[in-house]
């Protein structure tokens, strides 16, 4: 079987007060080697190199590339992107250059021939979740959108990557009394030749991102011993707070609530604290007591008042798309296409993943590839 290679990631730090010259290496807990040299004069320069396993992955149902950012940070190179929505693809392409001329862009997965999928080590897919969402229509696998799962299995069978990561809503686990996942989906993945592990992880407990977002993560390896060695990331402390991710200075007039909204008076009455985020739920306002952002969802782009609300001084506004990106752990310099309707940006961030959580899972996968 093909083995992933290795790549060297380096960075330099200039600091004051180092009193020795050293050169050496240490095992890096993430599964590589950390090499460093420290030179000092009056000012120290520290060069560090982290040897990461390099591997290739394909990014199915790629959206705006949240999964891609996570896997690239773990040493992966994307060799295929598949996304049907032209607006999501526009945001994706603005932020992710083709890493090589061999990189393939595909639109509809139903039109993607397995023979056109480049060789890869990891298949990555945050596939459409509506059929399984507890908030959705409970149409399950009969829904055409449910069929995309069969397309993932087709590519696994035909291309046999070493591992995969699938992401979906937590409700998929309990859909149809657990039968949809356990008896159909997991069996299909096992029949495709994989040993499968799944768990639900929350961005606020596992990624140091203050968003209450529980998602199901399914990881499979062709080699059972690799699956045994693989562990989902442990909990980490949440040190970031809502206020760290608010960018009041960037909010525009259109983000503020005024008398022009029917619900304004009620919202004004009920939004009391500046330290939390609120949600408008048709007839009432829900406060998030845990001091984190409520789950950002794709329907934020569907008009209405689905975007979380906040009080700033005497004013009330919704989060901006940029802030939604930050609450999904996207980098501050992630580009938003100029001229794209904000409703689309809200939809894209709600549909995406919490990037630092994907990075942590991807690192765990890369360790055992």
Indicate the angle between helix axes 342-351 and 86-95, nearest 10 degrees. Answer: 80
**Rule CB under 6 A: which of 330-359 touch ligand SAM?**
351-353
CB 69 to ligand SAM: min, Å: 8
Would you call 355 helix, strand, or coil by DSSP? Answer: helix
CB of 68 to ligand SAM, least distance (A): 7
Among 38, 122, 123, 129, the residue binding ligand SAM under the rule CB under 6 A is: 129
Closest residue by Cα to residue 105 from 79, 138, 128, 85: 79
Looking at the Cβ atoms of 145 and 226, the one nearer to ligand SAM is: 145
* Calpha distance 189→160 (Å, rounded): 11
Q: Report if residue 363 touches ligand SAM, rule: CB under 6 A.
A: no
Q: Which residue is nearest to ligand SAM (CB)?
A: 63
| Residue 366: CA count within 13 A, CB half-sphere | 28
Annotated active-site residue 129? The verdict is yes
Nearer residue to ligand SAM within complex by CB, 204 or 353: 353
Rg of the Cα atoms in the chain: 22
* Residues from 285 through 324 that contact ligand SAM (CB under 6 A): none
Give residues 11-50 in contact with ligand SAM (rule: CB under 6 A). none
Q: What are phi and psi of 90, to 5 degrees?
A: -65, -45
Length of the chain: 369
Stretch that binds ligand SAM, among 39-47, 107-115, 187-195, 265-273 (CB under 6 A): 107-115
**Is the distance from CB of 169 to CB of 127 less than 8 angstroms?**
no
Q: Is the distance from CB of 83 to CB of 107 less than 8 angstroms?
A: yes
Shortest distance in whole angstroms from residue 124 CB to ligand SAM: 8
Among 109, 204, 216, 309, binds ligand SAM (CB under 6 A): 109
Judged by CB under 6 A, the chain residues 47 through 106 that form the site for ligand SAM are 61-67, 82-85, 88
Quick one: which of 300, 309, 302, 323 has its CA closest to 268? 309
Using the rule CB under 6 A, which residue among 110, 256, 264, 284 binds ligand SAM?
110
Query: What kind and span of H or E run contains 203?
Result: helix 203-206
Assign 129 to helix, strand or coil: coil
Of residues 38 and 80, the one with the C-beta less far from ligand SAM:
80
Q: Name which of residues 193 to 212 contact ligand SAM (CB under 6 A).
A: none
CA dist 83 to 65, 87, 267, 322, 367, Å? 10, 10, 38, 22, 28
Cα 29 from chain centroid? 23
Q: Closest distance between ligand SAM and the C-beta of residue 17, in Å?
A: 42
To ligand SAM, the closest distance from the beta carbon of 110 in angstroms equals: 6
- Select from 27-35, 122-130, 157-165, 220-228 the region that touches ligand SAM (CB under 6 A): 122-130
Q: Is 128 in the site for ligand SAM (CB under 6 A)?
A: yes
Cα torsion through 63, 66, 68, 72, rounded to 10: 170
Residue where the block lists tokens 């894209």 = 348
| Binding-site size, ligand SAM (CB under 6 A) | 22
Query: Hey, which residues between 133 and 192 contact ligand SAM (CB under 6 A)?
Result: 148
In three-state secondary structure terms, 368 is helix
Residue 246 in contact with ligand SAM, rule: CB under 6 A = no
Catalytic residue among 78, 129, 293, 324: 129
Residues serving a catalytic function are: 129
Chain residues binding ligand SAM by CB under 6 A are 61-67, 82-85, 88, 108-110, 126, 128-129, 148, 351-353
């Amino acid at each position: 079987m093909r083995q992933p290679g290795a790549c060297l990631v380096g960075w330099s730090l200039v600091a004051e007060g180092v009193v020795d010259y050293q050169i050496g290496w240490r095992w890096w807990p993430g599964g590589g080697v950390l090499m460093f040299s420290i030179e000092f004069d009056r000012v120290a320069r520290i060069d560090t190199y982290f040897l990461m396993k390099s591997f290739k992955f394909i990014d199915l149902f790629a959206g705006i590339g949240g999964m891609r950012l996570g896997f690239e940070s773990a040493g992966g190179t994307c060799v295929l992107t598949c996304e049907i929505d032209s607006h999501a693809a526009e945001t994706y392409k603005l932020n992710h250059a083709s890493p090589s001329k061999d990189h393939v862009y595909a639109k509809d997965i139903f039109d993607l021939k397995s023979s056109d999928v480049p060789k890869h080590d990891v298949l990555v897919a945050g596939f459409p979740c509506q059929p399984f969402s507890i908030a959705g229509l409970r149409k399950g696998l009969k829904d055409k959108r449910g069929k995309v799962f069969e397309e993932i299995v087709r590519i696994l069978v035909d291309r046999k990557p070493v591992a995969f990561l699938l992401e979906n809503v937590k409700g998929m686990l309990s859909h149809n009394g657990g039968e949809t996942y356990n008896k159909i989906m997991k069996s299909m993945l096992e029949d495709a030749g994989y040993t499968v592990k799944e768990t639900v992880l929350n961005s606020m407990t596992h990624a140091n991102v203050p968003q209450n977002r529980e998602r199901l993560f399914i990881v499979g390896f062709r080699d059972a011993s690799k699956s045994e060695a693989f562990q989902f990331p442990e909990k980490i402390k949440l040190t970031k707070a809502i206020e760290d991710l608010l960018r009041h200075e960037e909010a525009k007039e259109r983000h503020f609530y005024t008398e022009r909204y029917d619900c304004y008076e009620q919202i004004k009455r009920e939004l009391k604290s500046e330290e939390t985020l609120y949600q408008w739920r048709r007839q009432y306002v829900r406060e998030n007591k845990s001091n984190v952002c409520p789950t950002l969802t794709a329907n934020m782009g569907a008009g209405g008042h689905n975007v979380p609300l906040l009080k700033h001084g005497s004013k009330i506004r919704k989060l901006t798309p940029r802030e939604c990106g930050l609450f999904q752990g996207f980098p501050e310099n992630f580009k938003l296409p100029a001229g794209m309707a904000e409703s689309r940006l809200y939809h894209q961030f709600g549909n995406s993943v919490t990037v630092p959580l994907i990075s942590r899972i991807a690192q765990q996968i890369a360790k055992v590839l």
